[in-house]
Structure 1
């Protein structure tokens, strides 16, 4: 058979056409995507934040993304089963803190998954006391521990709720070695459980949030449910990006009084401990890197457009987009800091 220039070009064109559908499939998200989250609540901050991001991506890419609140264990299992890009995950710092605290079901996300872009911060992680408490500040609490008083702190162990408690113990250790033994955990469950522990006088301090607990700080002191903020863990630069009106009847400037540097919980005697609750994507490690790139590119364009930031701030989230490579480096550095804190007080916990 004689091969002419025309037949060679035709064969090459046919080959290219056959290859195109497979190339497209390997580089793009499918039309229907399940976005699992590490929470079972459809009213919590993880669901709210994930829905904002899912809606923006759906509209931008012309696909359907459904948020599925299955909880951490089931979310990781679903991600493990699917490398095609039809299942993605959004979670927050709990995903690596659970592993640091040895919580069952939490693997090292940096070894077992592909960590994707960050999308937002919830600056609301906080600690509160009864409004009539003898402890009206973190300095009061740490001084009490130094003086031999037992301070009971209600937390949900193994993650975001516990890291601030670990920081308290570490700060007590730095200020007065041995006094960390007087900062003791009261292990509870949900936010309502922590609130109830305070109201039942089973805890002197509780972990809470600006969003969930601000309403109780507006009650008069003689109300059994009245609370007072003593510490907000977010970086001041994060909290400063919140709307000036703050949350409820507490302005941003009032909230900043409970954050570093106005409220100091030392990390090492020189700098303060801070913690931003950050939300980010997690991917199956065998998923095509081109899909990660597609998500990074889409989110870059979405955040450049600016509309998503307004939606996030309206829900008291701080926009915080970092593409995958930057996000991984940032989160690994963050984990390293908290790992050191946990190790410092591990013999006492």
Structure 2
């Protein structure tokens, strides 16, 4: 009996020691934290993943983290004004792509802000054609551009949507110098605008997503709104972590057919272009390093426990926790790579 009691006390003491660093660091955090996001939508992927992470952090740290969908420009302004740490930001690769594409109000986040941990990948970034399109694959599209045919691609300029378009132009140039000039942008706005451009016959290819467009791929070929996937930009290793059943009628095996290496969009003569849309924290540059460390430590415990990953996977995200230092290094490499692609097609 005494031995059992000692073991129980020992176990409780060990638990206390494990949770002590998080509790101690949480005491120095603001009790109310505003998490601004680079989207104005409360129904999109940025809000969805931010709400999951905010709830998990609130519970782990005993603070109130509230998500505020204000849009990219307003979010960066709010973050820049707040050096106390009461405002933090969640966004994705658009944070640096906006500056690479010279978007108004965007700056290099790696020099103007502090980059925090990554939390998830949305593997759904896609390109589609009408179901009755003569182009059956990305290979058909790139060959058409090489042969001098004008290919119109509907995008929302300045970020994730435009990056795949830039990759198409670059790929055509890899195949034949100057062929990228035959791939032209049809600049639109929301996903519904891009869809409409296809339905109105104004675009041959559109940027979309599995979540938004899979429903249209189920329509019969004679339906004006029917579409086909031709390219998913995510890495095959990323897609391989998606649920086997996929989404709708698009299984994981189907997804892999539209990704590298089965779908070939060359970055250069030796490798394919790939892009994973990653979500990560951004802080004011003067944020107390202890606060950043506390959030890193809390997220590590959260991801070690595994419940957040289950929620992310159910919502068709790929769990992707990397602490701040590692996240910054890897995201800077992405910025350098994609910046080169953007620069090359601009010259």
Structure-1-length-normalised TM-score: 0.92
Give how far 1:25 is off.
9.0
Give the alignment's Cα RMSD to 1 decimal: 1.1
- CA displacement, residues 204-252 of structure 1 (integer Å, 9 cap, x when unaligned): 0000001100000000000000000000000000000000000111101
Q: Is the 8 A contact 1:116 1:328 kept in 2?
A: yes
1:222 to 1:293, Cα distance in 2 relative to 1, 3 A: same
* Other structure's SS at 1:107 match: coil
* Other structure's SS at 2:89 match: strand
| Partner Cα distance (1:188, 1:26) in 2 | 44
Partner residue, 2:284: 284
* Other structure's SS at 1:76 match: helix
1:25 to 1:319, Cα distance in 2 relative to 1, 3 A: closer
Q: Is the 8 A contact 1:27 1:291 kept in 2?
A: no
Give how far 1:302 is off.
0.3
Shift >3 Å, 4+ stretches: 24-27
Partner residue, 1:134: 134
Larger radius of gyration: 1
Partner residue, 1:89: 89
1:247 to 1:331, Cα distance in 2 relative to 1, 3 A: same
Q: Is the 8 A contact 1:92 1:278 kept in 2?
A: yes
Structure-2-length-normalised TM-score: 0.92
| Partner Cα distance (2:318, 2:30) in 1 | 29
Give how far 1:28 is off.
2.5
Partner residue, 2:218: 218
2:263 is equivalent to residue 257 of structure 1: no
Which consecutive residues of structure 1, in runs of 5 or more, have no partner in the other structure? 1-23
Partner residue, 1:36: 36
| Partner Cα distance (1:108, 1:147) in 2 | 38
| Partner Cα distance (2:190, 2:228) in 1 | 19
Partner residue, 1:318: 318
| Partner Cα distance (2:51, 2:26) in 1 | 26
| Partner Cα distance (1:264, 1:319) in 2 | 26
Partner residue, 2:328: 328
Q: Is the 8 A contact 1:88 1:281 kept in 2?
A: yes
